[in-house]
Amino acid sequence: MARDMTEFSGSRVLVTGGLGFIGSNLAERLVELGADVTLLDAMIDGHGGNFFNTAPIRDRVKINLSDIREETTLGHLVRDKDFIFHLAGQNDHVLSLTNPYPDIDINIKGTAVLLEACKRHNPNVRLVYTGTRGEYGTAVKLPVDEEQPMNPRGIYELSSLTAQRLFHIYHHNYGVKSITLRLTNIYGERAQMLHHRFGVANWFVRLAIDDQVIPVYGDGAIRRDFLYVADTVDAILQCAACESAYGDVFNVGNNQVSSFGELAREIVRVSGTGRIEFVPFSPERAAAEPGDFCSDITKIGRIVGWTPSTSLADGLARTIAYYRTHQSEYWSSP
């Protein structure tokens, strides 16, 4: 069931992290829906911010190069908004293994700054937060539904869970309405392609396009519910447009599950280049690896009416075609 999206037409929207992977795809869709869109991004090193991501909509969005932690700027930016999508975050899982402070500072304090700004200056705004499935940690039972225990294994995942809880506290204590989402592994156009510290499916795509070896850890049997970015954007928007979803948390994942080995084989098949090699886990990767994971998406289907619609083969074909066309914008830093 597709939800009515007309309420975004003419609405004033802020997307934090709007020059990044998911944020820029979301921004493009919001512009198509007729929203008045402002993107906030601090273009943090090593993350997915890329000016080219907004090339098709550059003259139809406002871009504010600020940091989510700047209280005065946030106080100003949230004032007149109808919707805020909070996607700015430190998401470098490898960095968070060695330095906990950016996660704590950006994901927890940054979220608190945003929520305080809303509470003070625009308590009627509606917010959506994109957290991670990593908040669950190792799955107790598959597929993982929203009632399962939360056992984040790393600082990044803990900071995402804490941010999610902050949203709930502001929703329930101060009436600042929000929806929090737990996204699975997302792949697709406009992700950073400079390193493999996060976004493994996209990194495999780069290796295949470069006709390189794709190193798959272990025997490649660990399973995930990889989700295409356009489906992810659709989930975010359908939630935001669903009044009864506010105050709740939803998994955003896929009921098609693939192992890392299957993902790599599909990328090689669709691209026609690259090859696979199975390699041992590094100690850091082994420590952070939660094992098999797939999301139970019954709840978002029941309450919001969203289900994914893109097959892995189609999503990969579109992703590979995009990067082949725009390779120079993603293969090296500007």
Ligand X SMILES: NC(=O)c1ccc[n+]([C@@H]2O[C@H](COP(=O)([O-])OP(=O)(O)OC[C@H]3O[C@@H](n4cnc5c(N)ncnc54)[C@H](O)[C@@H]3O)[C@@H](O)[C@H]2O)c1
Interface with ligand X (CB under 6 A): 17, 19-23, 40-44, 47-49, 67-69, 87-91, 106, 110, 130, 132, 183, 185-186, 192, 199
Closest approach of Cβ 163 to ligand X, in Å? Answer: 8
Residue 21 or 330: which CB sits closer to ligand X?
21
In the bound state with ligand X, the residue whose beta carbon lies nearer, of 225 and 266, is 225
What are the backbone angles phi and psi of residue 324, rounded to the nearest 5°?
-65, -35
163 or 216: whose CB is closer to ligand X?
163
Min dist CB 326 to ligand X, Å, is: 15
Distance from first CA to last CA of the chain, Å, rounded? 41
Separation of alpha carbons 4 and 308, rounded Å: 17
Compute the C-alpha angle 183/22/298, nearest 5°. Answer: 30
Q: Please say which residue, 27 or 176, places its beta carbon nearer to ligand X.
A: 27
Which residue has 């979803």 as its token pair? Answer: 245
Q: Is 190 left (phi over 0), alpha (psi -120 to 50) or beta?
A: left
Closest CB to ligand X among residues 48, 137: 48
Alpha helices in the chain (DSSP H): 21-32, 71-78, 93-98, 101-102, 110-121, 155-174, 200-209, 229-240, 260-271, 283-288, 298-303, 312-325, 327-330
Look at residue 2 and give its three-state secondary structure: coil
Min CB(310)–ligand X separation in Å:
15
Nearest approach in angstroms of CB 63 to ligand X is: 11
